[in-house]
Amino acid sequence: MEIYGFWNNKGGTGKTSLSFQSIATYAHANPEQRVLVIDVCPQANLSEMLLGGLVNDGSGKLLEIQGGLIRATVGGYFQLRLPSPYAVPSFTAQDFITKPSAYNNAIPANVSLLAGDPLLELQSNAISTLANTQIPGTNAWVAVIDWLADFLSQVQDDYDMVFIDANPSFSIYTQIALSTASRLILPVMADDSSRRAIQNAFSLIYGLKLPSDIYQRYAFATRLREAGRELPKVHLIVKNRLTQYMGPSSAYAGVLRSIDRDVDALLATNPDIFTFSAAADGMVNIRDFQTTGVVAFARGCPFYALRSGRLEVEGQRIQVNEDYRINCVNAINDLVAKL
């Protein structure tokens, strides 16, 4: 079971929109693959898109799931773990899993969802406290970090591919998500804040270039390695929304080249943190989705299933150009081909 995590500690890089389109496209192209999506984000935007988006009341459907006899969300599962943080309680993982296609027929039937939940923000302090409790004979932090791994161990024979959408923060629930992933997809944009975010990501996950040994001692990577856990490897760096910056040949190309140089340097010094050996093999260029993206996300519809022409979004008729739609399909296909 391969586990991909979409993450960047900078918001606004298009992480959730990329994950929505990539997951749906991958599932559509591989109908024999059983795909599980885990939305570890309190905004739960990915869940809302999968359940129908703005136009088809994805938010209302998510509220319906949250209000069920069992709260079938990641927050519902974490709520179960709060009284039993260090030992796995009795539970049935499938009780927390939803089939988005039952709510949104644009989503392939081979996709399942552990939905996101705003409860994560409320739970965060309690989970952090539990993770840092000193208990003789028990590594409390590792026991908490393993919560999602405990969940997946129960369904490992039910799914072939898992995609995790992680929050831009590095809070405890994000650490739980990232420790579970085996491969990372890091979206960036052609601005200097994205370059710094990539540098920060390597510091936060791999403990690179930390300012002192004190930080190194308590670093995420140090604690995972001491517990004999594997760190996720960077699989793709997605240069997103390039046409918003006039394409990769514009003045912003300098920023993109600096990201390439940073990655090249890390490939030379820390090749073990990547799944690729040449930067070009781990880079994907994605054009800005523009109006086509706005319509697709509002309707909870993958690009391959979206029809062109004038479509209604909240009472407005919006034109989807077929050439632009095809460009979006091709861009996502390029990304999916590297999964």
pLDDT at 239 over 70: yes
At position 141, the amino acid (one-letter code) is W
Alpha helices, DSSP H only, in 100-145?
119-131, 140-145
- Stretch 304-310: mean pLDDT: 83
Q: Does domain 2-336 have CATH number 3.30.360.10?
A: no
- Report the C-alpha gap between 202 and 198 in whole angstroms: 6
What are the residue ranges spanned by the domains of the chain?
2-336
List pLDDT tens digits, range 73-82.
999 999 999 9
Axis crossing angle, helix 147-155 with helix 74-81, rounded to the nearest 10: 110
Residue-level pLDDT at 245: 43
List pLDDT tens digits, range 321-336.
788 889 899 999 999 9
Beta bridge partners of 163: 4, 37
What pTM does this model have?
0.91
pLDDT at 19 over 90: yes
- Stretch 75-95: mean pLDDT: 96
List pLDDT tens digits, range 181-203.
999 999 887 666 666 777 788 88
Residue-level pLDDT at 241: 59
Q: pLDDT category, 255, cuts 50, 70, 90? A: low
pLDDT at 35 over 70: yes
Helix or strand run (H / E) with residue 17: helix 15-29
Residue-level pLDDT at 125: 94
Q: Reduce the DSSP state of residue 185 to 3 states and report it.
A: strand
Residue-level pLDDT at 194: 65
